[in-house]
Each structure stands twice: as structure tokens, then as C-alpha cells.
Structure 1
């Protein structure tokens, strides 16, 4: 019994150490990305969502000139991050041209193509990123895929759809070769599907390793019922990765 207790405590300590390393990696990447890319004359700043962007918002909130710029949110969590860090909140309707946007990613390949949408905010994230003159990604080392997308992130490509189209879109994706197509559920917190900030449903379609992300994106986007696809093709300008060692690596176009 004592041996089992010792093993359990040892595993817990190891998991805590790993968790602390990952969090430190996220913070290092976020702080450096902001320090190297946020310019004094930037007036409209997009702030995405996710665990790494928490540190982005924190760093931007430490800016001495934060009263001189406005931040655009990509969803509810993003809005909360902006407000809680004392930043001025604006909307994409007010400011359709964004100077710079920071966001996380579920996976990044060597061409800076991304899979996003694990946090169910992909449409608004893509809207803000597409409006930005510069789009900077921040992530930790677990999100890097030197080859193709769909290798590190194996939960499938997130796809936002109009609710009553889910049966048709599911069938269409299966005919396109998806290994599995899952209507994302709310889990223990909600009976039924996840509902996005835009009152839509989310489908996760697993195509395995994605050899041609641009072609797949185009094919899915053309399906009737699809609002947006969680493949961000050639949108990012740079990606900052917090490494397990504590260093930060950068991929650029």
C-alpha cells in the first residue's frame, strides 16, 4: 500500500513539473512575441483566445501606452482577457482594419499553416486574423508539426456549421474521405452540442495527416452549410514557440 502511495505521489510530482514547464514555455513565447512585434504606433490590436493568449493579454496589459490603443476580441474569453488586463475593448465592426493580431494555435506546420478551433472560436479568430496587417501566433513546443498538419493535433479539423446542416455536412465530409466526423458535444457541462459565439454547431473531421491543407480547406469551405474551417492557410507571419528548455524558437515566412 505504501509503495502504491509513493508511486502515485511521484507521478503527481512529475505531472506538476511537466505542467509548470509547459506554462513557463507559453509565457516565454507570449512575452517575447509581444515585446518584439507590438509597436508604439499600433492602434488596433487583435487578441485571440486560448491558454497561451492569457500571457499575451497580460504582457500587452503591462504596456505604458495602453490608453492609446484599442483591442479587438475573438470571443467571450478574449473579451474577458482584454477587460481584466485594463485594456480598452473595441469590436471588429468599429475597426475592420487591425494593425496586429496575436493568437494561439492547436497545430502549426513549417509553412505556418494552422489548425485552430479547439476552443470553438475559429470563425471570429479567422475574421480578426484576416483583418490584421500582421498576424503573430504564440504556442508551446507541443504544437509544432515540422511536416504536415493533422499529426500533432489528432482531434480533427474543427468546422463551424449552420445547425440544421450537420447531417448533410457530416455525409459530405465522409464522402470526401474523413476517417471520422464528430458533432462536438458540450460534455458534462451541457447536454447536446457545443454552440459557438455565433450560435452555430462545430464538427471535428479527422482526415489524418493532411498532405494538401490548402486544397482540403477549399473543398470543405465550398460545402453548403459550412460557415468557416479551422484551417488557417498562409495567414500567419510568425509563430513563437516556448520550448521545453525554456528557450523560445521562431518560425517565420
Structure 2
């Protein structure tokens, strides 16, 4: 780099300056020779710095797995467990299988709520039984389709509502695992199906009655169909009528009683005053709500 220096004038110039009225200072621009070598005691390095890549957002399955893993913390060796049905419950069953295989859990018995869950649990080596042999369960773990502020639930979009309700009602504790998309201010508030299991005989008769019952909520009742367009048949050989509400159910307790009073209705998807705790996974982590 060029440096600007103030230098005293050489003698020849200095002597002549004595004859001038004012002394003059001469400015000389000195440019040192360029040295491209880095001094020995210094190292020259160039680093390309970039901000760390942000973590990808958690998917709904990621959140379900977080909640499922937390729920399994409630399980102890020797327990008889109700095993739920659906995508979230499948993560619970998978985790139980891992813990059994590693020896962290021992001597548990599962009571499945559907044929799908039975097949999954059996494939993982989880010992299974039925309510007839174990009418009192220590704990049931299952997902939910909706959860209101009082921990009341809508369940059964997976089609296993009757067996789910029987098993979970027989359990000392019922732990629910959901992601935060399932939280609603009132049941039916998601606008998605609230299922009612009905006998096949004269199913349309009950569909019409159910729609009329919830006329004020703008209910639309539809027979559930399978992938082939045929009526969906439950593990109990029944049909399902799905109720879709434009506004939440005003009194879920009264609604449950009125639905159950219809002849030909087997069970409904309102699970009221049953949950002991609800584990909720969201973007900020996992939280637990209990009564």
C-alpha cells in the first residue's frame, strides 16, 4: 500500500530555502516494493461461510410419532394394554414392539381394537388377548379425530369405533395421542366425519333420522363407502353413517344419548368423559393435558 510521508528537504534544497521568505516543506509519495509472500508468522486463509440449513418442518406423521413415543412412557412391564386403531395408534404399537424386543418392557399383554391392529401387534411379537379373558385393563392408548377443551373426543374415522369404545371403557386409564390439528372448540367442529355404526338392515332409515336429529347444526349424513364404491363394512359386519356438521354439536352429552336411543344404531363416535390424558404434539413440542 502506498504511504504518504512528510520528509525534510535535502541539503541542497535546504540552503536555498533560507533565502525564501517562508520555508517550504516538500511532500514525497513513497511506494514500497510489493511483497506477495505472507509473513511467516501469519497464515492467510479464505473461508466460504454459509448459514446453517434450517431443519425441515415436522410432518403430521412426525408429530404423531412424537406423541406416540410420549404415550408409551405410561406403560410398565406386566400391564394389560388396550391397543388402539389408526395411524397414530400404529406408531404406539410399533414402539411397544421395539421395547419388547430390546427387553425394556416385559410381560405385557395387548387387547387390540381391530383386526388391523391385531395383525400389526402379532407381527411384532406382542402377546395378545381379548376382553373375555381380560375384562379389566390397566391402560389403553389410542388416537382421536377431534379433541375439545374438556378432553371429549370424536373417534372412529378408521372404522373401529365400537371395539375401541368397549376396550377403552374397560381400561383404568385411557391416554389419547394426537397432533395439534385435531384440537377443536367443539365436537364436530372440524367439518370432518363423526361416525355412527348402524346395522345393515334398513340403514337408510337411520341415516335419514340422524340427519334430521342434527338439522340445526346443518348436518349432512352419508353412508361410508369403501375404495370400490361399495358400503364400508366394519369388523362387526355393520355399516357406518358419517355425519358432517356445519357448526359444532351444541350439547355432545345429549347428542350421544339421542343417537344411542335409535333402534338399529350400534355405537357412535362421541367418546365423552373417557380420556384420562391427551398428549398433543405441535411445532413447539409435546404437551400433556389431563383432567
- Taking structure 1 as the reference length, the TM-score comes to 0.86
- Which of 216, 220, 236 is equivalent to 1:198? 236
1:219 maps to what in 2?
Answer: 258
1:104 to 143, 157, 161: 143
- Cα distance in 2 between the residues matched to 1:221 and 1:111: 21
Structure 1, gaps ≥5 residues long: 1-16
Aligned match for 1:164, one of 189, 194, 201: 201
Preserved CA contact (<8 Å) 1:149 1:210 = yes
Q: Report the Cα offset of residue 67 of structure 1.
A: 4.5
Contact 1:73/1:89 (<8 A) preserved: yes
Larger radius of gyration: 2
Local SS of the residue matching 2:66: helix
Inter-partner Cα distance in structure 2 for 1:173 and 1:26: 32
Alignment of 1:1-253 (within 5 A): 20-35=58-73, 37-42=74-79, 44-61=80-97, 62-63=99-100, 64=103, 66-145=105-184, 147-152=185-190, 154-178=191-215, 179-187=219-227, 190-207=228-245, 208-245=247-284, 247-253=285-291
Contact preservation (8 Å) 2:157, 2:193: no
Deviation at 1:53, TM superposition (A): 1.1
Relative to the length of structure 2, the TM-score reads 0.75
Question: Does the 8 Å contact 2:154/2:187 carry over to 1?
Answer: yes
Stretches (4+) displaced over 3 A: none
Kept in 1, the 8 Å contact 2:186–2:248? The answer is: yes
Gaps of 5+ in 2: 1-55
Deviation (angstroms), 1:46: 0.6
Q: Distance in 1 between matches of 2:192 and 2:183?
A: 15
Q: As a proportion of its length, which structure holds more helix?
A: 1
Per-residue deviation at 1:177? Answer: 2.5
